[in-house]
Structures are given as structure tokens and as C-alpha cells.
Amino acid sequence: MSELDAITLEVIKNQLEEVAEEMGEVLIRGAYSANIKEREDCSTALFDHHGRQIAQAEHIPVHLGAMPDAVAAVREREPDPGEIWMLNDPFIGGTHLPDITLVSPVGVPNGSECTLDDILGYVVSRAHYADVGGSAPGSMPAVGQEIYAEGVRIPPTRVATHDGQQKDIVELILSNMRGTAKRQADFSAQVAAHSRGAERLKQLSMTHGERLTEAYDAVIEYSAERMEAELAEIPDGEYQARDVLRTVESESIDISVTIRVDGKQVYFDFTETSDQVQGNLNAPQAVTKSAVYFVARCLTDPDIPPNAGCYRPIQIHIPEENLLNPDQPAAVVGGNVETSQRVADVLFAAFGEAEPQMVPAHGQGTMNNLVIGSRRSGFTYYETIGGGAGASATSDGEDGVQVGMTNTLNTPIEVIETEYPLRVERYELRQGSGGAGVHSGGDGVVRTLRICEPATISLLTGRRDTPPKGIDEGECGSTGSNRIGGKVVPGKITTDVESGTTVTVKTPGGGGHGNPVMMDDETDE
């Protein structure tokens, strides 16, 4: 096998990334629900014939870092080219039940010079469906004790063969979701994205032949070497950090990590984290891996191609029946959206012990999940609401943005008021909520919605009593708060409300970086 020259490798790498990006565009443009077409709560990626990630679109960190486990789960079923497999089971590669993953093996095209016997690679998508059944509209109940309350649970299931969709199986799955027609439309958009991805990957095989599979190995090795070199710059040693989550009952749950840097290898040990809990803050192991990979990528050169090679220098240990590696049938919906954020905060804090200038202060540390849905009319509105980003050693934190494990847009006011029985009464920055510092944390936002028919509200939010921490003597950001009907409510709640009720979410600000007195002194001079 001939060695690829640098120019050819760069061309093929970019082409693979473009395939993943084009899949994402097809999915977003073809989706029906606002959660996907407006907020872009979805992710797409390519995997090689060995099930190794080789390219991804710039989508959702918590989706992408968990995808390898989902692909591995499908490959255990020995899928054939041309099939489409669906899963959302958090215990075998899923994140939480609303995130529906499709995996499609792509066969080697006739006439290709590629010598692979069967599978050229896999196209993969993950999309957050606005409802997948369960006890509450939107499938994100704040008080769930078991995963069965969170929606329909799908192990790796073949939903299409060479002859087309297995309509009876698809119907069985989608009929257990509220708003079945909309879910069908979103599923069709995912299928269209896979068709496009498979077509483009086959075209690359016809163009490049054997060089394509050579590029798989080369780009993975390149990323691994770059990551190892970057991580080797972190001072060797052992670094620890701890933070807490609050349950529905306001009890504290410990999230603790010990990080050991040894040359170009980094070990993450979560042994001291709390055992799994009765509520839904348990984070599946794939989600925890996502948080680790996300932070490692944030600390290294963003130009390193994101693929399986980035994970090679990283080792992770999580005990069984741990908050970050729960055993079924634990509830997990809050673990994906809230616990993942707190894990990222803890990891940044631990690396800050090695070098404070290397990491940002804590951002808002929550996705501020708001779900409003009707058991009568069947509408379901879902939103993660932005807040303040943590300041860095070189710049202030951004205002009103998604931070950490999410990377979505907001739903435009015009769309909210057109598609849902909702009215937006307030949407503005929360001035002064960012922590002071040499560089200040970003401000959170305030969002108030009026609900125009009887509905069920679910709130899964964090940082309502423990503020986002500053770093290097920077001040903390402000905590967030929630109100329903003008009354303060807990950070995690599911409740039925009457028509005309308002819900207000004030999101946290980001922490500051550096002692603000130093900034005052510089100003005085």
C-alpha cells in the first residue's frame, strides 16, 4: 500500500468532512420540527469500515462523543450494506431517549478499485425528537425514577433493508411518540441525510479507490499524534476537582474527578463520584465519555481533525453503578443535558490546577431545559436556553450563548408564536449576571413565555443555588432562577398549568477570570 502525500491526504480529509456537513444540511433542511430545523439539535458523522470515527460536522458535543459506542452496538449485530439501524438506548451507546440515532453501513460500489470485501464505511446521524413518549409531553419529566417513564426505548433495530423501510417496525416505534406525523417527517429527513451521505461516500470511493481507505488510517494517525503532542505540553501530575448537582429534592450529588497526566497520556478517574441515584441525573457512560473528549478538545489545537485518533491518548475509569455509569433501568434524561455540563465544569477546574491560564472559568453549567406540551392537542415545544460563557485568560465570556456540551441555536420568536400556542413576552440579556474579573463572565438571559392553552411544563435546570465559579480569583457568575405563574419554582419540576400561565427562566452568568482588583488598579494607572 502506497503512502499518501500530504496534499492528497488533505484533500480527502476535507472531502470526508464535507460529506458529514452535507448530511447535516440535508437533515436540517428536511426536518419538520422546530427543534431540528430551527435549533439544529442534531449531529452527523462518518465512520470507517472498522467503526472508527473519521469525520464529523460541527454539531453537538454530547451527541458526537457518544456516537462511537452506538456504532459499536450496531456492528455487533453484523449489519449489511444498504440497511438502516435505529437506536436510542442509553445503556448501549445512546445519550437519552429523545436522541434518535440512525446508523447505515455503506457498501463498496461496483467498479470501485477499493479492495474492501463489503462495507466501505458508516453514515451516522443523531437527532433530538421533540417527543418520544413517556409520562410527560416532551419526554423529559423532572421526577422520573426509571427510564420507562422517559419514553420508548429502542435497542439497535433494523428499520430498513435493501428493499426499503420496514414500515411495520417504524410504525410501531413512532406510534409510541406524541405528534406521530411530525416524528415521521423528522425520521424521513434523517433517512434522506443517510441517502446523501452514502451517495457521496461511494463517489469518493470511485474517485480515489484504494487511497480512500489509506486516508482513513492516515488521518486518524495524524490526529492521534497531534493530540499526544498537545497533551504532552500539560505539566505531568495529578489534579483533582469536585462540584455538586442538586436533585429534585435539593440533595447534593458529588461529581469528582482525578486526572493524571503522564507524558502524552491522560487518565480520568471518576471513582469518587456519587453512586447512581433514583432520579434522572444519571449520565450514561457514553455521555461521560463525550464530556471528557469535549474538554480534551477544548484544551488542544482546534485545527486537529476530529476523529477516533483524538481519543487514543485518553483513558477513562468509571465504576459500575456510578452516577456517570449507571445500571439499567436508571432514569437518565437529566444526565445527558445537565450532568454532562457539570462534568465538563469539573474537568476544566481540575485542569485549571495545572495551569489556570489554560482553561476558562465556569460557564452557566446548565442547558436550562424548558419543555411545554399538551396532553390534549399534542403540541410539544422544547428549548435549551443560552446563558453566560466563562471568561478566559484573554477575553470576556460571551453573553447569552450555549456553552459546554450543547451547541444549538435558539428558536426564533416568530417560529415560536407561529407553530405553538405560546407568546414571547420577554427575551433579553440579564445585565450584570456575569462574574467580575480581569476578564468578566458573560451575561445570562431572561425569557418569559405565556402559554395559551392548558399544558404541562417540565423544567430541568441547574446552577440555581451553586453559582458558576470564577478562576484565578475571578468572581462567580449569578445563579439562575425559574418562575411559573410569577412564583419561584425549583430548578427541576414537572407541573400542569392552566391557559394564560407564564413561565420565566433567568439563566446563570459565566464566571470571571483573574482578580478584578487588578483590573481596577490598571485602570487607575
pLDDT tens sequence across 463-479:
999 999 999 999 999 99
Residue range 282-287: mean pLDDT, rounded: 98
Provide the grid cell at 348. Answer: 476544566
Q: Angle CA(510)–CA(515)–CA(518) in degrees, nearest 5? A: 130
| Residue 525 confidence (pLDDT) above 70 | no
What is the per-residue pLDDT across 287-325, written as a single tens digit (0 to 9) for each?
A: 999 999 999 999 999 999 999 999 999 999 999 999 999
Q: Is the pLDDT of residue 277 over 50?
A: yes
Provide the 3-class DSSP secondary structure of residue 45: strand
Q: How confident is the model at residue 519 (pLDDT cuts 50, 70, 90)?
A: low
Report the C-alpha gap between 285 and 320 in whole angstroms: 9
- C-alpha to C-alpha distances, 266 to 133, 227, 258, nearest whole angstrom: 40, 11, 10
d(C-alpha 156, C-alpha 70), whole Å: 8
Cell triple for residue 106? 455503506
Residues 292, 316 contacting (CB under 8 angstroms): yes
Q: Is a pLDDT exceeding 90 seen at residue 58?
A: no
pLDDT on residue 386: 98
Using alpha carbons, list the distances in angstroms from residue 108 to 25, 117, 243, 350, 407. Answer: 24, 8, 49, 45, 34
pLDDT tens for residues 342-382?
999 999 999 999 999 999 999 999 999 999 999 988 899 99
Backbone dihedral angles phi then psi of residue 33, each to the nearest 5 degrees: -75, 145
Provide the 3-class DSSP secondary structure of residue 275.
strand
Reported residue count of the chain is 525
Alpha helices in 360-458 (DSSP H): 413-419
Q: How far apart are CA 93 and CA 374, in angstroms?
A: 30
Lowest-confidence pick of 62-76, 137-151, 241-255: 241-255
- The domain spans of the chain are 6-224, 360-525
Q: How far is CA 245 from the centre of its chain?
A: 18
pLDDT at 521: 54
SS3 184: helix
Q: Look up residue 391 and give its three cell numbers.
A: 471568561
CA distance 328 to 276: 10
The single residue listed with the C-alpha cell 458558576 is 468
| Helix-, strand-, coil-residue percentages of the chain, each rounded to 5 | 30, 25, 45
pLDDT at 520: 57
Cα-to-chain-centroid distance, residue 100 = 13
Q: Looking at the DSSP assignment, which residues form a beta bridge with residue 245?
A: 253
| Cell reading at 213 | 481507505
Q: Amino acid identity of 215?
A: A
pLDDT range class, residue 144, cuts 50, 70, 90: confident
Average pLDDT for the chain: 95
- What grid cell was written down for 13? 480529509
- Residues 253-274 have a mean pLDDT of 97
Confidence of residue 1 (pLDDT cuts 50, 70, 90): very low
Q: What is the pLDDT of residue 291?
A: 97
pLDDT band at residue 201 using 50, 70 and 90 as cut-offs: very high
Q: Averaged over 442-460, what is the pLDDT?
A: 98
| Residue 77: how many other CB atoms lie within 10 Å | 15
124 in Cβ contact with 70 (< 8 Å): yes
0.85 surpassed by pTM: yes
Question: Which residue in 166, 168, 167, 162 sits closest to 198, CA to CA?
Answer: 162
**What's the pLDDT tens digit per position in 103-143?**
999 999 886 777 677 899 999 999 999 999 999 999 999 98
Of the candidates 414, 492, 1, the one whose C-alpha atom is nearest the C-alpha of residue 214 is: 1
Report the C-alpha gap between 492 and 483 in whole angstroms. Answer: 11
| pLDDT, tens digit (0-9, with 9 covering 90-100), for 10-55 | 999 999 999 999 999 999 999 999 999 999 999 999 999 999 999 9
Beta strand extents in 79-152 (DSSP E only): 84-87, 99-107, 119-128
Q: What is the 3-state secondary structure (H, E, C) of 455-489?
A: EEEEEECCCCCCCCCCECCCCCCCCCEEEECCEEE
